[in-house]
Structure 1
């Protein structure tokens, strides 16, 4: 029996583009939501006709801002998924939401449609940081969003937070963590700010207007965060992700474990049987039916990707899982690089698990250079 796949569905509409965001998202295009819903449903149906009625164990509705979709549209999309694929009874179904656009009616619709996990883009408890990021909410709305989600019956709630922001110190980061912990979410994601070319933040950074923490300060904030959340009962299981009572994000965990997944919607990507499909980024290209880019990956590419993704995890790379997927042991693919990084203190091999050490997490990008195909 084939391993179930995950499904990612991109819902790209948003109220306003944040200053740091380089994701394909389209403010001011809400009039196209109905056409977009029909296009996504048609794509799901067509893909299932090609690959068969696959089992599905996770679905992730991302954006953009999915909570900006009109009433009934997410229900229709999820109904199409169930009509086309075999969604497991205990499948994890996640929907992203922004605090400012999350209402009780929308949450009730999600619950009725089978969504059982909500991920709220909180980012910071500091008003000045939210203004800098050009977010359209405040922390009071984060509190309200969590309360509304619980009232709707959600028990699996994630909060997204950001670190390494301009002017950020550990004291400011700790205050945000404290505010988040008061809400007792089941999961926290804490992502470091990345300055992406083409964003307003990139232009400001190029002009010297964004005083980011230096590398030493950034790493200190990161490791303080890991320890602080551990003491609060949130176990780190991936570079940026922390779960209470083992309530990990199964969808993302499966991706890091290099399971197959299908992607639907503008800019969505998927990986299935060694072939990557990537839909066009542009909303109108997608609506007009422009074909996805298709790439058959070389064995060297899939080996590197599986290693790279697994090393983000605290559990590391399972040598058994690598051998089953790749048909060769990782120790045979990279014997010299692995031994060199074990001796250099960046990697450790325990049983059948290859993991990064704490130093390896700090120098991950440098270490991976020796494994590039």
Structure 2
């Protein structure tokens, strides 16, 4: 069974396919799109041995001529220097504006390949082929692409929508448990910000998801993508509504930065960030203690951290203030006001530090 959703953005609308074994059908899925035959696959040295051959075989069977660039795994690959290597490779191959870039991997690959697609020749087609749960439910959908800067994560980027997203659930079978849990943090986020019934569903079926049950994972991925698609369709460039997707990310991104991206997976940092934001909401009297108790319990069941580590206070504060969502020096955070509903509020840095225990 293949699930299909559409992200409705007028002439930039695109489909999301979700199901088992879709990478083997990739060439067929690309046929309806107006693409040149030459294409560039961007992947990393972990994903390539697992899935690259079946992607190449499917593309070649459909008449495509793939080039491949493997980059080192991890956030270090999301840099302007690695992007420059991809520009050079494409331009040397005589790239044209209908030659697509395919992102085969997790969120890091999607961000890097997406940034290159957005900026090469002022924009070439982008195909997202997410292979992690986090990428399938979040980063591959919605059109945020970026590379990192020494001063912070994703500070150089663009809004650039893909032509197609193909989420092959078969790839989750090779995912280490820690990566699966990291992805579940973003899934839990959707329940907190948008859908209380979905949060309850996760409470009821979390162990099945962790065990890799296909039906549960398909429902989780499809509902997460559906929620994000609805939000992005209403606010593509994060002027208001879309900012609710940043629940947990203000503290999460700062925590990733101060630990040099080597300690926490993205979802783990977001889990801690969600707890800090929810503690602020509780201290302001916005929510009942039951909500923070349910969130903490669900995160712990997903083997996700819920407490801030002992980081240097000033360094963490500096990272907070560099956040893209800061306006005129004031931090804007997403705070829950009920289960399934959040609001964006200005929060004093001292309030954040107290909630973080720093």
Would the TM-score normalized by the shorter structure come out above 0.5? no
Q: Which structure has greater helix proportion? A: 2
